[in-house]
Chain A
Amino acid sequence: MSDVLTVNKLKAYYIMNYFGTKREVRAVDNVSLTIRKNEIYGIAGESSSGKTSLIKVFAAAMRPPFEIVDGDIKFDFGDVKIDPYAEDKSKVDALRWSHFSYIMQGSMSVLNPVRKIGKTFEDFALKPMGVSKAEFIPLVIEHLKKLKLSPDILNSYPHELSGGMCQRVTIALATVCRPKFIIADEPTTALDVVVQKEVLSMIRGIQQEMGSSVVFVTHDMSVHANITDRIGIFYAGRLVEEGPTKLMFEQPKHPYTYHLVSSIPRIGDTQRRTSLEGKPPSLATPPNGCRFHPRCPIATDKCSQENPELVDVGEGRRVACFHSDKVKPLLEAAQ
């Protein structure tokens, strides 16, 4: 088996009950996917499509009111196989950082403001690495060098670092134990383009050196084009298309993917960018049928009644659209 993570028909909702009114946000709705060994899997989708929610499930980082409603999820790290929600919590905790790590969204606030970075490294990584303190420091310093961070930062507080440095410190924290599975939520969003490029190539470098798998979340398609091997496109809590990055960019099979891909500016491109009309659907009261149909230029009656299943279309691709075989001509005709 070469799959690190297998997710099957996963449903996870935010179930809230406040002052008598019940609200259900279906942030992850019937998602099945696998993450392979030694690949970077990208997750794309607009804001509040449920990207963070999905990987919170992966990282066993769920808090009330977020609950798994249905489906299952399995890790296979080679030496350990585990279903994080069936096993005892302490067993999962023992695997954190040594086997899988999670870079949370918003790196500016994930570091303890009153603790020196060096101390934080000790708290996080000393035990999973299983080395003595004397061996530990040189290892950390060596690792920091790979991310172009000076050893001095171990003696600083988070507020003394720039946003980009904090970002890299967080990445360093999550990779220093060389885990097999790394989950990264928008790790480059706060950075300017030059730094972003640098950090991306560092992540790529570290991933290849360690042979780990990375789940990389960002809404920025050009970042996906640069770094990922495969992409899963999310819309309103559902996976609508998945496949190798190159093919996805060359010939998208879902109108939403088509929109995302064509919205990346390219040099020499004179075509006018069309922006998507309408608002993203509310996850508390999603539309019937295909959730994209109210905004889809090629939607038919069928789309508003039936929900398209995610089906295999060959070349390692899956797509959930009734018109997947002729998306391009239909869209061009609609314009």
Chain B
Amino acid sequence: MINYLLFAAKRFLQLVAVVFSGVSVAFFVSHLSPIDPVEAAIRRSTRNSNVNPEAVEKMRETLTALYGVDVPMWQQFTNFWSKVVVGDFGPSLLSFPTPTMDLVLRALPWTVGLLLVTVLGTWCIGNFLGAFAGYFQNNKYLKAFGIVTMSIQPIPYYIVAFLTLILLAFIWPILPLGGGYAIGLVQEWSWVFVLSVMKHAILPILSLILVGLGLWFLGMRALVSNIISEDYVVFAELAGVSKPKIVISYVMRNALVPQLTALAMAIGGIFSGTIITEQVFSYPGLGSLLVRAVNSGDYTLVLAVSSVAVAAVAVAIFIVDLLHPLLDPRIKVE
């Protein structure tokens, strides 16, 4: 137990390091931007009206102080971090003066929900089917399923999302075109709202599952077809251990260890896929927010979304890593 806690603590330090370096990189990259956030904000608010120059000057001062761009870079960096640790990325340009963090927090649950459902779904279904496909290599249906996933799997998320959209919302319009819920509904815990959310989630989830399933299915199938010739599986078979027990406790159980490692490695890519899919379905998550922020030149928002994305992925990997020693007794947890 104490060993496990030490292991967790070590992994936590690594998590902090990853988040720190990722967010810092995002900070420096965004501060190389030729866009001056202050001027951009002024341009936005004076676009449609004639404001007198004094008021503009006043506004410039306030904004400069607000964004903290009047001090040297290293000081901006420390200021940035001292605010970020309490979750403050500054006000958004896009919807000034709402704090960026509010926008991010509003979008985050949508993305996390989508990600959770699809990652868990694809991982479980893919591994389960893959294990059987690897063990019963001559099964017709599993073979056919393998060929289908094999041809969908390499296609980029965007294309698959786009095709499901065209098929199921356009040519055969049984599902909504996009959005997180029907327009005009209020966000509340009512049946109407929850049903609407579920209905709107079907297409994004479906397209994410279509692409994601193949990775686990094919990975598991390959692993299993190697594991079934391992000595411990052969030995168990020669001892007359029952088939289901061999598939589950001997074959699948051993294949889960590398599949968990693969999950940790794939989360970053899956996350990227999710935010693209969101964009296709105008789903109100981080992805759509990020695209909107880029298109409107909202630099604090871009920085905030990227930082939160880096942190979210790192946390997800951290959680998967914590599960690892529970699944594999050979990992030394000291």
Q: Which residues of A contact B (CB under 8 A)?
A: 59-61, 63, 93-97, 101-102, 104, 106, 109-115, 119, 123-124, 127-128, 157, 159, 173
- Which residue of the partner chain, among A94, A124, A157, contacts B239 with CB atoms under 8 Å? A124
Chain B residues whose CB sits within 8 angstroms of the CB of A96 once the complex forms: 238-240
| Sampled A-B contacts (23; CB under 8 Å) | A59-B238, A61-B234, A63-B234, A93-B240, A96-B239, A101-B239, A102-B239, A104-B234, A109-B232, A110-B234, A110-B235, A111-B235, A112-B232, A112-B236, A112-B254, A113-B254, A114-B257, A114-B327, A115-B250, A115-B253, A123-B236, A127-B240, A159-B329
Assess whether A112 is in contact with B240, with CB atoms less than 8 Å apart: no
In the complex, what residue of chain A is closest to B245 when comparing beta carbons? A123
In the complex, what residue of chain B is closest to A102 when comparing beta carbons? B238
Assess whether B239 is in contact with A104, with CB atoms less than 8 Å apart: no
Q: How far is the CA of A55 from the CA of B238 in the complex (A)?
A: 13
Chain B residues whose CB sits within 8 angstroms of the CB of A119 once the complex forms: 249
- Which residue of the partner chain, among A61, A115, A173, contacts B249 with CB atoms under 8 Å? A115
Output the least CB separation between B239 and chain A (Å).
Answer: 4
Q: How far is the CA of A97 from the CA of B240 in the complex (A)?
A: 7
Q: How far is the CA of A115 from the CA of B330 in the complex (A)?
A: 11
Decide: A123 near B330, CB < 8 A? Known: A109-B232, A110-B232.
no
Q: Mark B204-232, 1 if CB is under 8 A from A, else 0.
A: 00000000000000000000000001111
Chain B residues whose CB sits within 8 angstroms of the CB of A97 once the complex forms: 239-240
Query: With an 8 A cutoff between CB atoms, is B102 at the interface?
Result: no
Assess whether A110 is in contact with B231, with CB atoms less than 8 Å apart: yes
Output the least CB separation between A93 and chain B (Å).
Answer: 5
In the complex, what residue of chain B is closest to A123 when comparing beta carbons? B241
Chain A residues whose CB sits within 8 angstroms of the CB of B329 once the complex forms: 113-114, 157, 159
Q: How far is the CA of A119 from the CA of B232 in the complex (A)?
A: 13
Query: With an 8 A cutoff between CB atoms, is B328 at the interface?
Result: yes
Assess whether B330 is in contact with A124, with CB atoms less than 8 Å apart: no
Chain A residues whose CB sits within 8 angstroms of the CB of B254 once the complex forms: 112-114
- Which residue of the partner chain, among A94, A101, A157, contacts B330 with CB atoms under 8 Å? A157
Q: How far is the CA of A106 from the CA of B235 in the complex (A)?
A: 11
Q: How far is the CA of A124 from the CA of B232 in the complex (A)?
A: 12
Q: Mark B245-270, 1 if CB is under 8 A from A, else 0.
A: 10001100110010000000000000
Q: How far is the CA of A109 from the CA of B233 in the complex (A)?
A: 10
Q: How far is the CA of A106 from the CA of B232 in the complex (A)?
A: 10
Extra inter-chain contacts (17) besides given A101-B239, A104-B231, A123-B245, CB under 8 Å:
A63-B234, A94-B240, A97-B239, A109-B230, A109-B232, A110-B231, A112-B236, A112-B249, A113-B232, A114-B257, A114-B329, A119-B249, A123-B239, A124-B236, A124-B241, A159-B329, A173-B239
Chain A residues whose CB sits within 8 angstroms of the CB of B238 once the complex forms: 59-61, 96, 102, 104
Q: Mark B112-123, 1 if CB is under 8 A from A, else 0.
A: 000000000000
Decide: A111 near B239, CB < 8 A? Known: A123-B245, A159-B329, A159-B330.
no
5 A-B pairs with least C-beta separation: A96-B240, A109-B231, A110-B235, A124-B239, A112-B232
Q: How far is the CA of A209 from the CA of B188 in the complex (A)?
A: 76
Decide: A114 near B328, CB < 8 A? Known: A61-B234, A106-B231, A123-B249.
yes
In the complex, what residue of chain B is closest to A128 when comparing beta carbons? B240
Q: How far is the CA of A124 from the CA of B329 in the complex (A)?
A: 21
Chain A residues whose CB sits within 8 angstroms of the CB of B249 once the complex forms: 112, 115, 119, 123
Chain A residues whose CB sits within 8 angstroms of the CB of B230 once the complex forms: 109
Interface of chain B residues 281 through 334 with chain A (CB within 8 A): 327-330
Chain A residues whose CB sits within 8 angstroms of the CB of B327 once the complex forms: 114
Output the least CB separation between A209 and chain B (Å).
Answer: 21
Chain B residues whose CB sits within 8 angstroms of the CB of A101 once the complex forms: 239
Q: How far is the CA of A97 from the CA of B242 in the complex (A)?
A: 13
Q: How far is the CA of A96 from the CA of B235 in the complex (A)?
A: 11
Chain A residues whose CB sits within 8 angstroms of the CB of B245 once the complex forms: 123
Decide: A112 near B250, CB < 8 A? Known: A96-B240, A97-B239, A123-B245.
yes
Q: How far is the CA of A109 from the CA of B238 in the complex (A)?
A: 15
Assess whether B240 is in contact with A113, with CB atoms less than 8 Å apart: no
Chain A residues whose CB sits within 8 angstroms of the CB of B250 once the complex forms: 112, 115
Q: How far is the CA of A114 from the CA of B239 in the complex (A)?
A: 18
Interface of chain B residues 62 through 91 with chain A (CB within 8 A): none
Q: How far is the CA of A124 from the CA of B236 in the complex (A)?
A: 7
Q: How far is the CA of A97 from the CA of B327 in the complex (A)?
A: 29
In the complex, what residue of chain A is closest to B250 when comparing beta carbons? A112
Q: How far is the CA of A59 from the CA of B327 in the complex (A)?
A: 33
Chain B residues whose CB sits within 8 angstroms of the CB of A157 once the complex forms: 329-330
- Which residue of the partner chain, among A94, A104, A128, contacts B235 with CB atoms under 8 Å? A104
